[in-house]
């Protein structure tokens, strides 16, 4: 088990009579991307600001790499790379000048600042635009540079608040690939998004927040299991489908099997892992399989069940 980089316990925050966050607890381990999902106004942004020390919680506590986080915790904040929802760059400066500026805020100087700036420009795919002013950039390029500014000081925890909003497909793909590489490199990533497919692709675990409370947490598989749903395997085949279906029913992990109109329909656990055994059973039964499809329950169904609304409204 990787070390927990971020620990949030019993967080609470009110704004007057309105409860924004209530008794929220979660953690993010090194090398893990944790997705925080919720409808608009659910408390995601408030939680992010509490984690980053931009707001003081009314209740609970936050630790980043063992350091207690408060609004005055300078050393704790230095461990965080925060990429806000709004682009926070200077449009009249070049990409390189923006990175120099933010690097100096992190106390990077001289050769180290030059080296990190070059590495970041390469990572975000903007080396060829380093000398261009940010005001000439597309929305996607600005988003990528925004992320780059949060990475300059090699943070222990990277916090990304909806980093792909309003970007073109090419930039969005580049951002998602970069986020995947951060986790693979051992960085802890806290990620909020309005795109369910991003959470499916990137997040090792997901926390769903609604009306200020964390209503569910776990891997995609664990959350889907709460609905009692299973994977489905559909095979278009020819031959003795009745005999083949009987063989499928005997396989561990198969919950149900039937045939209809030249297709075999299986209800299973772990469909992708089971598929090779199903195809092997078809071969032994002398059944020719023309096509096979695995359908997995997704996070969208879980989200709708728990919150009663779609993620994007």
Domain ranges in the chain are 4-224, 230-296
Question: Collapsing DSSP states into helix, strand and coil, what is residue 167?
Answer: coil
| Topology at the third CATH level for domain 230-296 | Alpha-Beta Plaits (3.30.70)
Q: What is the four-CA torsion angle of 87, 93, 94, 99, rounded to 10 degrees?
A: -60
The yes-or-no verdict on residue 310 having pLDDT over 70 is no
Across the range 104-109, mean pLDDT stands at: 93
Q: How confident is the model at residue 237 (pLDDT cuts 50, 70, 90)?
A: very high
- Per-residue model confidence as pLDDT tens digits over 257-278: 999 888 999 999 889 999 999 9
Tell me the DSSP string of 241-303.
Answer: HHHHHHHHHTSTTEEEEEEETTEEEEEESSHHHHHHHHHHHHHHTTPEEEEEEEE---HHHHH
- Per-residue model confidence as pLDDT tens digits over 113-160: 999 999 999 989 999 999 999 999 999 899 999 999 999 999 999 999
4-224 CATH, one of 3.40.50.80, 3.40.50.1370, 3.40.50.300, 1.10.10.2840: 3.40.50.300
- Per-residue model confidence as pLDDT tens digits over 41-83: 889 999 999 999 999 999 999 999 999 998 888 888 999 999 9
């Amino acid at each position: 088990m990787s070390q927990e980089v971020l620990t949030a316990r019993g967080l609470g925050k009110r704004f007057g009579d309105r409860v924004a966050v209530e008794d929220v607890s979660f953690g993010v381990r090194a090398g893990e991307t944790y997705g925080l999902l919720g409808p608009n106004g659910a408390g995601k942004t408030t939680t992010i600001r509490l984690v980053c020390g931009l707001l003081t919680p009314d209740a609970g506590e936050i630790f980043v790499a063992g350091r207690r986080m408060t609004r005055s915790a300078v050393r704790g904040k230095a461990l965080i790379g925060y990429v806000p929802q709004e682009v926070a760059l200077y449009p009249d400066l070049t990409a390189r000048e923006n990175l120099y500026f933010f690097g100096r805020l992190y106390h990077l100087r001289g050769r180290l600042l030059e080296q990190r700036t070059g590495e970041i420009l390469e990572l975000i795919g903007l080396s060829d635009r380093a000398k261009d002013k940010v005001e000439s950039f597309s929305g996607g390029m600005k988003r990528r540079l925004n992320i780059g500014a949060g990475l300059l000081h090699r943070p222990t925890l990277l916090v990304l608040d909806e980093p792909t909003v309003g970007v073109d497909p090419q930039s969005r793909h580049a951002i998602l690939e970069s986020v995947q590489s951060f986790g693979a490199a051992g960085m802890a990533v806290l990620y909020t998004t309005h795109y369910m497919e991003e959470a499916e692709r990137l997040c090792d675990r997901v926390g769903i927040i609604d009306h200020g409370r964390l209503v569910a947490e776990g891997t995609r598989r664990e959350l889907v299991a709460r609905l009692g749903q299973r994977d489905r395997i559909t095979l278009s085949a020819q031959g003795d489908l009745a005999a083949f279906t009987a063989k499928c029913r005997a396989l561990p992990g198969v919950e149900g099997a039937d045939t209809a109109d030249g297709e075999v329909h299986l209800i299973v656990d772990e469909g992708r892992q089971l598929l090779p055994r199903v195809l092997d059973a078809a071969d032994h039964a002398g059944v020719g399989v023309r096509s096979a499809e695995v359908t997995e329950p997704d996070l969208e169904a879980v989200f709708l069940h728990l919150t009663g609304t779609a993620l994007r409204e």
